[in-house]
Amino acid sequence: MGDSRSRDLPPRWDELVAASADLDRFCSASAWAGAAHEAFGRRSPLLAVAGADAAAALARARGPWRAPVLGGLDPLWGFACPAVGPDVEEAAALLAGLLRRHEGGWAGALVPGLVPGSARDAAVRAALGRRYRLGDGPEMVRRVADLSPGATAWLARRGAHFRRNLRRARRAAEAAGLRVEAVRGGAELVERAAAVDRRSWKGAQGSGLADPAMAGFYRALARRLGPGGLLAGFARLGGRDVGYILGAVGGDTYRGLQLAHDEAVARLSVGNLLQWCQIESLAAEGVARYDLGMDMAYKLAWSDAAMTTYTLVVVA
CATH assignment of the domain containing 61: 3.40.630
Position 200 in a domain: yes
> Which pLDDT tens digit goes with each residue over 255-302?
999 999 998 998 899 999 999 999 999 999 999 999 999 999 999 999
Domain tally for the chain? 2
Q: Which of the four pLDDT bands, split at 50, 70 and 90, describes residue 64?
A: low
**Spatial separation of the C-alpha atoms in residues 135 and 310, rounded to whole Å:** 11
Same domain, residue pair 71 and 156: no
Dihedral sign for Cα atoms in the order 249, 251, 254, 256? negative
Q: How many CA atoms lie within 13 A of 244 on its CB side?
A: 26
**Spatial separation of the C-alpha atoms in residues 270 and 107, rounded to whole Å:** 48
Same domain, residue pair 32 and 87: yes
Q: By C-alpha distance, which of 251, 250, 233 is closest to 242?
A: 233
Amino acid 83: pLDDT:
98
Amino acid 184: pLDDT:
95
Q: Where are the alpha helices (DSSP H) in the chain?
A: 13-18, 25-28, 30-40, 88-101, 119-129, 151-156, 160-176, 187-197, 201-205, 212-225, 270-284
What is the rounded average pLDDT for all residues in the chain? Answer: 93
Amino acid 75: pLDDT:
87
Position 265 in a domain: yes
Same domain, residue pair 165 and 275: yes
**Spatial separation of the C-alpha atoms in residues 234 and 189, rounded to whole Å:** 10
Same domain, residue pair 159 and 271: yes
Taking CB atoms within 8 Å and a gap of at least 24, the contacts of 149-154 are: 150/283, 151/279, 151/280, 151/282, 151/283, 151/284, 154/279, 154/283, 154/304
Same domain, residue pair 118 and 220: no
Cβ atoms within 10 A of the Cβ of 133, count?
11
Amino acid 65: pLDDT:
62
Amino acid 2: pLDDT:
44
Same domain, residue pair 193 and 278: yes
Q: Which of the four pLDDT bands, split at 50, 70 and 90, describes residue 82?
A: very high
Amino acid 292: pLDDT:
96
Amino acid 4: pLDDT:
38
Same domain, residue pair 185 and 108: no
Residue 97: domain span? 2-141+309-315
Same domain, residue pair 82 and 164: no
**Spatial separation of the C-alpha atoms in residues 228 and 189, rounded to whole Å:** 10
Amino acid 67: pLDDT:
80
> Which pLDDT tens digit goes with each residue over 211-256?
999 999 999 999 999 999 999 999 999 999 999 999 999 889 999 9
The answer to whether 211 and 230 have CB atoms below 8 angstroms apart is no
pLDDT mean over 47-66 = 87
Distances (CA, A) of 227 to 107, 129, 222: 41, 43, 8
**Spatial separation of the C-alpha atoms in residues 118 and 237, rounded to whole Å:** 47
Q: Between 207 and 135, whose confidence is greater?
A: 135
Question: Is pLDDT at 6 greater than 50 in this prediction?
Answer: no
Question: Is pLDDT at 179 greater than 70 in this prediction?
Answer: yes
Question: Is pLDDT at 5 greater than 60 in this prediction?
Answer: no
Position 297 in a domain: no
**Spatial separation of the C-alpha atoms in residues 213 and 151, rounded to whole Å:** 35
Q: What residues contact 111, with CB distance under 8 A and at least 6 apart?
A: 72, 82, 83, 95, 124, 128, 311, 312, 313, 314
Amino acid 53: pLDDT:
98
CATH number for the domain harbouring residue 214: 3.40.630.30
Position 295 in a domain: no
Q: Which of the four pLDDT bands, split at 50, 70 and 90, describes residue 3?
A: very low
Q: What is the DSSP letter of 227?
A: T
Same domain, residue pair 119 and 159: no
Same domain, residue pair 137 and 156: no
* Helices and strands, counts by H and E, the chain: 11, 13
pTM equals: 0.91
Same domain, residue pair 163 and 98: no
The residues facing 246 across adjacent strands are: 232, 258
Same domain, residue pair 133 and 8: yes
The residues facing 184 across adjacent strands are: 231
Lowest mean pLDDT among 32-46, 72-86, 258-272: 32-46
Q: Which of the four pLDDT bands, split at 50, 70 and 90, describes residue 1?
A: very low
Q: What residues contact 302, with CB distance under 8 A and at least 6 apart?
A: 143, 145, 275, 290, 292
**Spatial separation of the C-alpha atoms in residues 114 and 19, rounded to whole Å:** 16
Position 292 in a domain: no
**Spatial separation of the C-alpha atoms in residues 166 and 160, rounded to whole Å:** 10
Position 18 in a domain: yes
Amino acid 230: pLDDT:
96
User: Angle CA(203)–CA(208)–CA(212) in degrees, nearest 5?
Assistant: 85
Position 296 in a domain: no
> Which pLDDT tens digit goes with each residue over 125-164?
999 999 999 999 999 999 999 999 999 999 999 999 999 9
Position 263 in a domain: yes
Amino acid 251: pLDDT:
86
